[in-house]
Amino acid sequence: MTIQTQMKTADNGVDVEALREIRQALTDMPPAALFTWRATCAWLGGVHSRSTVETFHGACAEQAHRTPYSVEADHPGVFAATDNAATPVEIVLSALASCLTAGVAAIAQHRGVQLRSVTARVEGDMNLHGILGIDADVRNGFEAIRVGFDIDADATREEIAAIVAQSQKRSAVFDIITNPGNVKVALE
């Protein structure tokens, strides 16, 4: 009974009904599920750059965002840089947190759980001996990443833990970070 009521009243601002329809459509038409995402990055001088996203391919057609968006990246003063923006690795951490948070909201909605607040704190440990080429045994990227969720919702701790687990299971960025993938870089 409670679950039924929650199903109707929980509103996290995610249109689960529409998502369900999209899922069905993409199940029935597998080619429509093949997406290609793009970004164009321009050097702005120093180690400062601006990436812009505008178009992507999906649902068997060219698509575009409502408007182009851009994300700038730079490096902080301790790197002897101008610190005009976040570092690329902080953007990666932000992308992970955003992806998991979006998942938490959508899954909570799907399960009829009303969220009141969600905060994800992300930390990544990095040994700069890697990118500076000081120690060949140290990797460039994060040695470890930790995500801590602080969630206030109408649900038990176990239910919230299950939502967080499911958001990892369905997260693109979590997969990108935890699993190897092939990357090709070419000169055009």
Partner 1 sequence: MQRITTVVVGAGQCGLAMSRELRRRSVDHVVLERGAIGESWRSERWDSLRLLTPNWMNGVAGHRYAGSDPDGFMSAREFTASLTRAARHDGAPVMAGTRALSLDRAGGGYRLATDRGDFACASVVIATGACALPRIPRFAADLPADVVQLTPRSYKRPSDVPEGAVLVVGASASGLQIARELALAGRRVTLAAGGHQRLPRRYRGRDILWWMHRVGVLDLPYTRVDDLDRVRRAPSLPLLGDPSGADIGLDGLRDLGVEIVGRLGAVRDGAAWFSGALAHVCASADLKLGRLLDRIDAWAEAMGYAGPPPHRPTPTRVPDAPRLSARLGGGGIGAVVWATGYTPDHAWLRLPVFDGRGRLRHTGGVVGDGLYVMGLNYLRTARSTHIAGAPRDARALARHLVGATTRRAAA
Residues that bind partner 1 (CB under 8 A): 30, 143-144, 158, 161-162, 165, 168-169, 174-175, 177-181
Residue 52 CB, shortest distance to partner 1, in Å, is 30
DSSP structure string for 10-26:
---S--HHHHHHHHHHH
Residue 9 CB, shortest distance to partner 1, in Å, is 21
Residue 123 CB, shortest distance to partner 1, in Å, is 15
Closer residue to partner 1, CB minimum distance, 70 or 156: 156
Beta-bridge partner residues of 61: 58
Alpha helices in the chain (DSSP H): 2-9, 16-28, 88-110, 157-169, 172-178
Collect contacts of 23-26 with beta carbons under 8 A, ≥24 apart: none
- Cβ atoms of 122 and 99 within 8 Å: the answer is no
Closer residue to partner 1, CB minimum distance, 38 or 169: 169
Residue 64 CB, shortest distance to partner 1, in Å, is 30
Closer residue to partner 1, CB minimum distance, 118 or 164: 164
Closer residue to partner 1, CB minimum distance, 23 or 38: 23
**Helix crossing, 157-169 with 88-110: angle to 10°?**
120
